[in-house]
Structure 1
Amino acid sequence: MLTILEFTKNNVIATKAQENLTEADIQKIHPLIHNIVNRGQKVRWYFEMENFSGWKFNAFWKDLKMDMSHADDYEKIAMVGDKKWQDWITQFMKPFTNAEIRYFDSEQKEEAKEWINQ
């Protein structure tokens, strides 16, 4: 499940991912990305993971295609989690975008929020 967090504004998209992401979850983000890009801005994405176990295959494929089609539209991505594999996903994403991507442990949520807004 993907929840849009309250500090989503301007060119910042803030989300919390829990359990598995589905294709419907990915569809929630697409209009937000387009609104930012259509205003001539770059996307900054705060992606918090809590009890997150990954993507269902079709959602993963849709997410990867969306990321590839918007590779130049991201400025920063803050990945916040508490598992080693989540840090690995952060590293895996780097070749697919020109964005600056950083991983933050769950205890560093406030630091991640500050960084994404700078």
Structure 2
Amino acid sequence: MIELIEIASSKAIGLRISGKIEEKDIKLVIDAVNEKFKYEEKLAIYVELVEFGGISMKALIEDIKFAFPNLKKFTKKAVVSDKSWHETLTEISDKLFPFIELKHFGIEEKEKALLWVMEK
């Protein structure tokens, strides 16, 4: 499940992931991102990863269909979690997508992560 988190910046979108991601979750995010794109050319992403229970095939397809044509519209992504393997995955993703700055933050660093995504 994905919940939207209110971010005090028009240049960022906030998400909280807990459990399995379904197609309706991806559509919620796409709608929110498209709304922000009406006013901003580029966005940063803040993600609180509470628990990742996987992603359905339909959700993955929707995510890929939206993400790839829009990848260069995202400037940075902060991932906040308490799992060390999330940090490793963030480091790998940072290398795969060099035009998006990715950083992992521990749970105790939520405020630091929020400030980081709202920086220019």
User: What amino acid does structure 1 have at the position aligned with 2:114?
Assistant: K
Gaps of 5+ in 2: none
Structure 1 equivalent of residue 12 of structure 2: 12
Contact 2:47/2:77 (CA < 8 Å) preserved in 1?
yes
Query: Is 1:98 equivalent to 2:85 in the alignment?
Result: no
* CA-to-aligned-CA distance 1:90-112 (integer Å, 9 cap, x gap): 23433246221111111211110
Q: Counterparts of 1:8 and 1:17 in 2: how far apart (Å)?
A: 19
Structure 1 equivalent of residue 55 of structure 2: 55
Cα drift, residue 20 of structure 1? 0.8
Gaps of 5+ in 1: none
User: After alignment, is 20-29 or 37-46 more displaced?
Assistant: 37-46
* Matched residue count: 118
* CA-to-aligned-CA distance 1:3-28 (integer Å, 9 cap, x gap): 11122641211110001111110101
Q: Counterparts of 1:82 and 1:65 in 2: how far apart (Å)?
A: 29
User: What amino acid does structure 1 have at the position aligned with 2:35?
Assistant: N
RMSD over equivalenced CA pairs, Å: 1.9
Q: Counterparts of 1:65 and 1:96 in 2: how far apart (Å)?
A: 16
Q: Counterparts of 1:32 and 1:38 in 2: how far apart (Å)?
A: 10
